[in-house]
Amino acid sequence: MTLYIANNASTARAGHSSRAWPAIGFLGALLASVACFPAVAADGGNVPPVKIAVFDFELEDVSPAASLPGASASAAATMEKVSSEARRMLSQSGRYRLVDVTRVEAKPVTEKSLRNCDGCETGIALQLGAEQALVGVVRRVSMTDYYVMIQISDCRTGKVLDQQVANFAGGEDGWASGARMLIKHGVLASDN
129-168 pLDDT, tens digit each: 999 999 999 999 998 999 999 999 999 999 999 999 999 9
Q: What is the pTM of this model?
A: 0.74
Residue 119 lies in a domain: yes
DSSP assignment string, 62-89: -SGGGGSTTHHHHHHHHHHHHHHHHHHH
Statement to judge: residues 146 and 169 lie in one domain: yes
Q: Which of 47, 64, 79 is the last residue of a domain?
A: 47
Range of the domain at 112: 50-187
Statement to judge: residues 116 and 166 lie in one domain: yes
- pLDDT by residue (tens digit) across 16-40? 333 333 333 433 333 334 344 444 4
Residue 56 lies in a domain: yes
Statement to judge: residues 73 and 37 lie in one domain: no
Handedness of CA 151, 155, 158, 162 (dihedral sign): negative
Domain of 115, CATH number, reads 3.40.50.10070
Of 168, 160, 147, residue with least CA distance to 190: 160
Statement to judge: residues 27 and 116 lie in one domain: no
